[in-house]
Amino acid sequence: MDDTQRETLFLTIKAVIDGIIADKRENPKNAKRLNSFKARINIGLHVEEDDILWINLVAKDGRYTVEKDTLEEYDLELISDPEDLMFFCNGQYSVMHMMLKKNRFGKRKLRFKGRAYGKLLALPKILVLDKKEH
């Protein structure tokens, strides 16, 4: 994966996360959760067999930022194939699916490291789009 593709992938994932947070802010029921969630998360995008593109998500005081690279001090580290992460964020893949099924490289679709299990359990409420009622 060349630098242009890496930059495009980063911008795409950043736009997805920013879009989900903005969408969730439109529903007043999400305000408390979004404003109280505090986390420093490294997210590894498993792009090739031996290549992971690292980004990070910092949530503090209701503000969410997505940047390149890893954080030295973090609460949680996630690794996922970008396509699987997108399906998770749009609600097509459940947490159980992500934890139990394998990705195209033969690894679990969502791998994690860290002891912030509360943050891991809260993450779907932050990063997964709400179901729209018609």
Give the start-to-end residue ranges of the domains of the chain: 3-127
Q: pLDDT per residue over 11-46, tens digit each?
A: 999 999 999 999 999 999 999 999 999 999 999 999
For the domain 3-127, what is the CATH superfamily, name and number? SCP2 sterol-binding domain (3.30.1050.10)
Task: Note the pTM of the prediction, 2 decimals.
Answer: 0.92
Residue type, 99: M
DSSP, collapsed to helix, strand or coil, labels residue 54 as: strand
The band of 133, judged by pLDDT with boundaries at 50, 70 and 90, is low
- 54-98, pLDDT tens digit by residue? 999 999 999 999 999 999 999 999 999 999 999 999 999 998 999
Residue with tokens 């099924």, as numbered in its chain = 101
Query: What pLDDT, on the 0 to 100 scale, is given for residue 116?
Result: 87
Using a 10 angstrom Cβ sphere, with 0-12 exposed, 13-18 middle and 19 or more buried, the burial of residue 62 is: middle
How many other CB atoms are there within 10 angstroms of residue 27's CB atom?
A: 10
- Does the pLDDT at position 134 exceed 70? no
**pLDDT of 131 strictly over 80:** no
> Are 98 and 80 within 8 A, CB to CB?
yes
Instruction: Compute the residue count for the chain.
Output: 134
**Inter-residue contact 70 to 42 (CB < 8 Å):** yes
